[in-house]
Amino acid sequence: MKSVQISFFVLVLTIFRVRNSRCDSPLVLDYYKETCPHLEEMVQRIVEIAVLEDPRMAASLLRLHFHDCFVMGCDASVLLDDFGNVISEKEAGPNLNSLRGFEVIDEIKYVVEESCPATVSCADIITIAARDSVVLRGGPGWDVLLGRRDSLTASFNGANQFIPAPNSTLDSLIANFQQQGLDTGDLVALSGSHTLGKARCLSFRQRIYDYNSEEKYGYHERDEEYLSALRSLCPRSGRDNTLAPLDLKTPARFDNHYFINIIEGRGLLISDNVLVDQGLQWEIRKHVFAYASNQEYFFDSFVNSMIKMGNVNVLTGNKGEIRKNCRFVNSYTI
């Protein structure tokens, strides 16, 4: 009886958190119900084809959403190419030769414009595509709140400043997330997106050759066999673009094995391993161990944090615009 009561309490708490994350949002469900009723079907179909052709694309589209929201908010600024005096965020350190999925968004936008011209924002397309990517890899689904508009500019400097680096310390990660109005619970849940995808040698070289990493960064396990395998892929110099999976156990499936990996010292990035820091951030480690032991709890938390992140500094009403081409503001393409 006691376990039933606890389960019921967890369910009620989860529902409350999700509803609470939506209550102050300027976004709504079914925003395009009248103006573009088949939007989500169109997005899903193209994302499904893209992921079938390239399974890694699921992680790339999800990452595209993160990198968009962490710079000026979820406004599709990350999609803009250079124009006028504006330097594209694609040229920033965290994105250059790394961020992918732009062509998939272009294809979605083209199809959507054919059916619903000048109606659907690129920012909403990115958000829906991220959700569909998670679902296609076995992760949870959720109703996407819509009504975002697209930015009129980009922030090259913001991309360099606010997107968390793969070698971030725990304090840096916490500060990056707080800058977006996200707390430590969101930090851990959203880090779980590293259950998908791959990273370049350039991003994890410091993790495998910094022999003082335990003392410097505070994580508590060191899997020598795993490190040896990574060193064979990624030498001290050269082969910068060689890829390794972020999740060693189930790299193509969205599940909770990422958290099991970092507990065992098999996180690929320094920013993964610092989540099990033995220092003062016990609250963070508590989330990691909870998600490692309960996938459903991780899924619920991830959904809640994705909805929350998707609300960061969105443009609505008369702010911004609905771009005709996601790579350029409308005034530039006329």
Instruction: Tell me the C-alpha distance between 198 and 175, whole Å.
Output: 25
Identity of residue 52: L
Tell me what pLDDT residue 209 has.
Answer: 87
* Numbered residues of the known binding site: 68, 71, 73, 75, 77, 89, 164, 194-195, 247, 250, 255
Q: Please state at what angle helix 57-69 crosses helix 122-136, rounded to 10 degrees.
A: 140
* Numbered residues of the known binding site for heme b: 194
Find all residues with CB under 8 Å of 232, minimum gap 6, and list them.
none
Does position 211 have pLDDT exceeding 80, yes or no? no
pLDDT digits (tens, 9 = 90+) for 283-314: 899 999 999 999 999 999 999 999 999 999 99
279 — pLDDT class (breaks 50, 70, 90)? low
Tell me what pLDDT residue 278 has.
Answer: 54
State the sign of the Cα–Cα–Cα–Cα dihedral 77, 83, 85, 90: positive
210 — pLDDT class (breaks 50, 70, 90)? confident
Instruction: Tell me the C-alpha distance between 160 and 15, whole Å.
Output: 36
Find all residues with CB under 8 Å of 243, minimum gap 6, and list them.
198, 199, 200, 201
The number of beta carbons lying within 10 Å of the beta carbon of residue 279 is 13
DSSP state of 243: E
50 — pLDDT class (breaks 50, 70, 90)? very high
**What burial letters (b/e) apply to 38-58, b meaning 16+ CB within 10 Å?**
ebbebbbebbeebbeeebbbb
Number of H helices, E strands in the chain: 16, 2
90 — pLDDT class (breaks 50, 70, 90)? very high
From the number of C-beta atoms within 10 Å of its C-beta (0-12, 13-18, 19+), residue 65 rates as: buried
Which one from 38, 65, 67, 287 is the annotated catalytic residue?
67
* Numbered residues of the known binding site for substrate: 164
3-class SS at 193?
A: helix
The token pair that represents 4 in the structure block? 């039933």
Find all residues with CB under 8 Å of 169, minimum gap 6, and list them.
217, 270, 274
Does position 332 have pLDDT exceeding 90, yes or no? no
Domains of the chain, start order: 38-162 (1.10.520.10), 182-309 (1.10.420.10)
State the sign of the Cα–Cα–Cα–Cα dihedral 308, 103, 270, 88: negative
333 — pLDDT class (breaks 50, 70, 90)? low
Tell me what pLDDT residue 195 has.
Answer: 96
**First-to-last C-alpha distance (Å) of the chain:** 66
Does position 131 have pLDDT exceeding 80, yes or no? yes
pLDDT digits (tens, 9 = 90+) for 212-243: 545 544 545 567 889 899 999 999 998 989 99
Find all residues with CB under 8 Å of 7, minimum gap 6, and list them.
none
Percentage of the chain beyond pLDDT 90 is: 75
Instruction: Tell me the C-alpha distance between 201 and 292, whole Å.
Output: 26
> Active-site residue 67, yes or no?
yes
Q: Which long-range contacts (CB under 8 A, 24 or more apart) does 31-39 make?
A: 31/124, 31/145, 31/146, 31/147, 32/116, 32/119, 32/120, 32/124, 32/146, 35/116, 35/119, 36/112, 36/115, 36/116, 36/119, 36/120, 38/115, 39/112, 39/116, 39/120, 39/128
pLDDT digits (tens, 9 = 90+) for 142-201: 999 999 999 999 999 999 999 999 999 899 999 999 999 999 999 999 999 999 999 999
Tell me what pLDDT residue 9 has.
Answer: 37
pLDDT digits (tens, 9 = 90+) for 245-257: 999 989 999 999 9
Percentage of the chain beyond pLDDT 70 is: 87
Q: Among residues 248, 263, 131, 243, which one has the least CA distance to residue 194?
A: 248
Average pLDDT score, the chain? 88
State the sign of the Cα–Cα–Cα–Cα dihedral 211, 184, 178, 157: positive
pTM for this model (two decimals): 0.88
Instruction: Determine the average pLDDT of the residues in 199-207.
Output: 92
